[in-house]
Amino acid sequence: MTDTSTATAASVPLAPRALPLLGHALPLLRDPLAFIMSLSGYREMVRVRLGPSTAVMVCDPALTRQVFLNDRVYDKGGPIYDRIREVIGDGLSTCSYTLHRRQRRLCQPSFHPTRLPGYGAVFARAAELKAGSWRDGDILDVTQEMMTLTTRATMETMFSGALPEETMRRALADTATIVSAFFRRMMTPALLRQLPTRQKRRYDQARHRLSDTIAEIIAERRADPTDRADLLSTLVGAVDEESDDGQKQLSDAELADEALTFFLGGMETTAITLAWALHLLATNPDVQRCLQAETDSVLAGSKLDAAHLPSLGLASRVVTETLRLYPPAWMMTRTLRQDAELGGVRLKSGSTLVLSAYLLHRRSDLFTDPDRFDPDRWLGVQPDRASYIPFGAGPRKCIGDQFALTEAILALTAIVSRWELTPAGEQPFKPKVETSLSSRGLTLRLSERRTGIADSTELHAASPRSAPAQPSTPRAGASACPVQHQE
Ligand code: HEM
């Protein structure tokens, strides 16, 4: 839709301190989060330059939602998606609007709510195993530990049953190489990206090897298509009844792209969410004790499983709050497929829009005291769909959101019920900004819980602060944490 009465993109203010050839590339590479937050004064939109290209950053929640909802006009595409496709092909998260609906219909059954209890059982078992492998006094490389946990859990839910240890180890190492090289490659101009550096060689090797690993698993499954009630079986058996071009099922190539998309998209994001949650608990011991009290009273000696989820109110709020402070998908982009009007500004087909969960989640007019870790801000409160967007929104919203939340809540419960966590490294610990907000390098010290059961009576008697206004009744298992918390 074009409206001649509206302003053009040139009227959108340009972010300050653009350098002649580089634009804002230097501050964006040097400290992306500081740069993004320096734009929080712009309430609607601001232009950012990266070399010769200009992108419009959307800073307003309602406009962000408008972009998310209209995926026909604001589509996935452009140079960033070209980089991502190098790794995961044209799968559900990277494909354009024209391919999306069919792929979403074919993938959706794998994430149907009825499958969650089955996945939950795998997550709980993997988390118990991981938490049981640590020793009193260990200093954990938290990100590495959470990556092995979610890799194992993702592999088992996708491919049913443990894969050989060597396959798992190789997949993990390759994933780590790809993920850490990715953001730099995304920001590096095309010519420099092709230079035969050692980093490029390692990156290419890792992505070919990971693709080969997934292709091997799919070939085995095609050879023996017995339904194993896992994610891959559902994908192999999925039929799109609405497809009118004879392609009712996923081809081998599509299957490989989807499997890689779920594998890479799912395990890293969930692992770093868990790592940040553990960091926030370690630096907020009062919340950690409340959470231990919750897990003790909910588990009460029983084995952790998905049936406990409705009672794990605080664990769920900790995850919600972690995703607010450290949304793994801190930046998302869209390309305009046609001229359009957004917020009274005419934007041309081909323009790039940037949406940032990090910026919205830390805006002080949207969240009280936004930098404070306060799980109880969610007590009885549903997150606002426009300003809280860790999973995106609209037709391209994360298909694995409930899968990830189930995994994260169960893993957190398994860990804090056994262990006391304290910071072991540099403080404050800052995110490494890559494709996601990485917690790489985060270390925590473990102490075995001495009492086993935190004294919840004592905790809840301690000078309670007033809970935020509650528009609805808290669900079962919800209880206010009594003290103030630091990020
Ligand atoms: C805490 C964990 C996770 C976070 C924060 C997260 C975040 C996101 C976000 C923000 C998007 C939308 C991106 C955009 O609109 O540009 C997305 C899409 C997607 N996510 Fe997740 N995700 C998580 C876990 C998972 C898991 C566990 C899976 C699969 C096993 C998964 C698979 C996908 C897929 C396939 C898409 C593309 C959906 C589509 O376009 O239809 N994600 N995710």
Domain holding 51: CATH number?
1.10.630.10
Report which protein residue has its CA nearest ligand 1's atom 7: 391
Burial 134-166 (b: 16+ CB within 10 A, else e): eeeebebbbbbbbbbbbbbbbbbbbbbeebeee
Residue 213, pLDDT > 60, answer yes
**Cα of 390 from ligand 1 centre, angstroms:** 9
Q: Check residue 480 and give its pLDDT.
A: 60
For the ranges 67-81, 186-200, 238-252, 448-462, which has the lowest average pLDDT? 448-462
**Cα of 33 from ligand 1 centre, angstroms:** 21
Residue 430, pLDDT > 60, answer yes
In this predicted model, which residue has the larger pLDDT, 118 or 52? 118
In a domain, 157, yes or no: yes
237: left (phi over 0), alpha (psi -120 to 50) or beta: alpha
380: left (phi over 0), alpha (psi -120 to 50) or beta: left
- Locate the ligand 1 atom nearest the alpha carbon of residue 154 and give its number: 30
In a domain, 90, yes or no: yes
Binding site membership of 396 for ligand 1 (Cβ less than 6 Å): yes
Binding site membership of 101 for ligand 1 (Cβ less than 6 Å): no
Percentage of the chain beyond pLDDT 90 is 55
Binding site membership of 398 for ligand 1 (Cβ less than 6 Å): yes
In a domain, 458, yes or no: no
In a domain, 481, yes or no: no
The per-residue pLDDT of the chain, averaged, comes to 86
Cα-to-chain-centroid distance, residue 283? 22
Burial 334-354 (b: 16+ CB within 10 A, else e): bbbbeebebbebbbeeebbbb
In this predicted model, which residue has the larger pLDDT, 246 or 432? 432
Position 464, amino acid: P
Q: Check residue 473 and give its pLDDT.
A: 31
**Cα of 399 from ligand 1 centre, angstroms:** 6
In this predicted model, which residue has the larger pLDDT, 407 or 486? 407
Report which protein residue has its CA nearest ligand 1's atom 11: 398
**Cα of 235 from ligand 1 centre, angstroms:** 17
In a domain, 305, yes or no: no
For the ranges 33-47, 200-214, 339-353, 458-472, which has the lowest average pLDDT? 458-472
**What letter does residue 461 receive in the DSSP assignment?**
H
**Cα of 366 from ligand 1 centre, angstroms:** 23
Q: How far is residue 184's CA from residue 58's CA, in Å, rounded to a whole number? A: 23
Q: How far is residue 425's CA from residue 445's CA, in Å, rounded to a whole number? A: 9
Report in angstroms the alpha-carbon separations of 442 from 174, 253, 416, 428.
20, 37, 17, 10
**Cα of 259 from ligand 1 centre, angstroms:** 13
Binding site membership of 411 for ligand 1 (Cβ less than 6 Å): no
In this predicted model, which residue has the larger pLDDT, 127 or 265? 127
Residue 140, pLDDT > 60, answer yes
Binding site membership of 328 for ligand 1 (Cβ less than 6 Å): yes
Confidence of residue 359 (pLDDT cuts 50, 70, 90): very high
Mean pLDDT score, 337-354: 96
CB 235 within 8 Å of CB 218: no
Q: Check residue 466 and give its pLDDT.
A: 30
In a domain, 107, yes or no: yes
Binding site membership of 403 for ligand 1 (Cβ less than 6 Å): yes
**Cα of 4 from ligand 1 centre, angstroms:** 37
Burial 25-62 (b: 16+ CB within 10 A, else e): bebbbeebbebbbbbbebebbbbbbbeeebbbbbbbbe
Helix, strand, or coil (residue 332): strand
Q: Check residue 162 and give its pLDDT.
A: 53
CB 421 within 8 Å of CB 275: no
Q: At what angle do helices 142-159 and 401-418 cross, to 10 degrees?
A: 130
CB 174 within 8 Å of CB 209: yes
Report which protein residue has its CA nearest ligand 1's atom 19: 398
Helix, strand, or coil (residue 57): strand
Binding site membership of 261 for ligand 1 (Cβ less than 6 Å): yes
**Cα of 75 from ligand 1 centre, angstroms:** 16
In a domain, 437, yes or no: no
Q: Check residue 245 and give its pLDDT.
A: 67
Structural domain tally of the chain? 1
Report which protein residue has its CA nearest ligand 1's atom 17: 398
**Cα of 401 from ligand 1 centre, angstroms:** 7
- Locate the ligand 1 atom nearest the alpha carbon of residue 405 and give its number: 1
- Locate the ligand 1 atom nearest the alpha carbon of residue 408 and give its number: 1
Structure tokens given for 419? 């262990």
* Mutation test residue for ligand 1: of 80, 93, 234, the one with most atoms within 8 Å of CB: 93
Q: Check residue 348 and give its pLDDT.
A: 95
Mean pLDDT score, 442-467: 57
Beta strands 419-423 and 443-448: pairing type? antiparallel
- Locate the ligand 1 atom nearest the alpha carbon of residue 436 and give its number: 5
In a domain, 304, yes or no: no
Binding site membership of 390 for ligand 1 (Cβ less than 6 Å): yes
Mean pLDDT score, 165-184: 79
User: Domain residues for 85?
Assistant: 7-273+331-400
